[in-house]
Amino acid sequence: MLNFLKYLPLEWRKRHEYCVPKGPSFRWAPWVTIPIAGSRLRLKAPRHSPRRSGEQWRLLPGRDLLDDPRLNHMATGVMANDYWGNAPALSRRFAFWGPWMSGCKAELAMSVCAWGRQKGHEFADISFFHPKAFEMVLVQYLNDYYGHKHWNVHTHIPRWHGPADWQRHNHLPVFAGSCKIYSQGPDPDITNNLSFPEHLFFFPITDQHFVEITFVQHLYSRDKNGDIAFDTAPIQALQDAIVNSISLELSPAAQASYDRIKKEVRNMQLPKEFAPLKWPIDPSASQPPASDSPNTATDQDRLWKL
């Protein structure tokens, strides 16, 4: 009870001193079930509690995310080309409040969506359940979403750096990987000009779609020198707890596809290491390969050699 009063979600007097903020309780969080093409993705996430009023995005109950096979197009300039489409499933924000109305210290933004290729631009003859094929798809996706953005046409300094801290996860019935993409500043002479990482978590869900869960930590309270003025452990703890609570139940069709590929490829694991990609890329370099032959880009060559 005292905690509830101590960490009221109000901002009355902003303080930028060290404190340990408190966010929504994970213990009492409800479970969210998202049906995607017959498979069921389940995770435990607190209710939407943003700092300022704003709606969450959610899938209406009783609907499957991929009921309508058409995927949303991205707005112009967001991706390097128009070959990708997505279906957003969930989007929530959790605010972390300081003690005694000293302001909102941070917000954790979570978003779950499914990605696939648009009609006419599919990767022919491959299944996303094949680990090597999935790697190639990931490289293509990261290049198209993050890799093409740069600060200046002349200096070609990329806006993003990644993937970093690649880890593979084995607690799902399919292989899964997570990484961080850092935002890069415009001045290359300054060391350590990376910040604002986006935490991504990927796994395939059908032969032609994969699920991406994104976490972004927005940190608001800084002291006079510009350093973070509070303990960020609770935010990371909530993020880790949500990731660990993810469970997946494949549909019979998806399971059959997965087993079929497992018979051919014994080692159904993503690679242990995934070095940062060379960015910015030239947007014309991200053409969809005609088949899964590893001839079209140097990144793909590197992957196949692993």
* Residue 304 in the binding site for other proteins (CB under 8 A): no
Give, for 140, the enclosing helix (H) or strand (E): helix 131-142
Asked if 14 touches other proteins (CB under 8 A), the answer is: yes
224 touching other proteins, by CB under 8 A: no
SS3 228: strand
Q: Residue from 49, 81, 91, 251 that binds other proteins (CB under 8 A)?
A: 91
- Establish if 81 lies at the interface with other proteins (CB under 8 A): no
> Which residue's CB is nearer to other proteins, number 228 or number 261?
228
Which residue's CB is nearer to other proteins, number 210 or number 258?
210
| Residue 83 touches other proteins, criterion: CB under 8 A | no
CA-CA distance, 208 to 54, in Å (whole number)? 32
3-state DSSP: the chain helix, strand, coil percent, rounded to 5?
20, 30, 50
218 near other proteins, rule: CB under 8 A: yes
* Residue 52 touches other proteins, criterion: CB under 8 A: yes
The closest of 227, 247, 249, 215 to 92, measured between CA atoms, is 215
Nearer to other proteins, 196 or 304 (CB): 196
Q: What are the residues whose beta carbons fall under 8 Å from the beta carbon of 45, sequence distance 6 or more?
A: 29, 30, 32, 90, 92, 110, 242, 245
Query: Which tokens go with 118?
Result: 């648009």
Counting DSSP H helices and E strands in the chain, the numbers are: 5, 11
Residues 130-149 that bind other proteins (CB under 8 A): 145, 149
Question: What CA–CA distance (Å, rounded) separates 189 from 179?
Answer: 25
Q: How far is the CB of 274 from other proteins (least distance, A)?
A: 21
Among 81, 118, 193, 296, binds other proteins (CB under 8 A): 193
* CA torsion through residues 162, 150, 110, 95, sign: positive
Q: Which of 93, 299, 127, 131 is nearest to 215 (CA)?
A: 93
CA atoms within 13 A on the CB side of 216: 14
Q: Considering the complex, state which of residue 183 and residue 245 has its C-beta at the smaller distance from other proteins.
A: 183
User: Is 273 one of the binding residues for other proteins (CB under 8 A)?
Assistant: no
Task: Single out the segment in contact with other proteins by CB under 8 A; choices: 219-227, 238-246, 250-258, 276-284.
Answer: 219-227
Tell me which of 30, 61, 120, 226 binds other proteins, using CB under 8 A.
Answer: 226
Phi/psi at 61 (5° precision): -65, 145
From residue 92 to residue 111, the character string flagging contacts with other proteins as x (rule: CB under 8 A) and all else as - is -----------------x-x
Number of residues that bind other proteins (CB under 8 A): 40
130: phi then psi, degrees, rounded to nearest 5: -85, 125
Contact yes or no for 114/87 (Cβ under 8 A): yes
The stretch near other proteins (CB under 8 A) out of 60-68, 165-173, 193-201, 203-211 is 193-201
Residue 64: other Cβ atoms inside 10 A: 15
Site of interaction with other proteins (CB under 8 A) = 14, 51-52, 54-57, 74-78, 86, 88, 91, 109, 111, 113, 145, 149, 151-152, 159, 183-187, 190, 193-196, 212, 214, 218, 220-222, 226
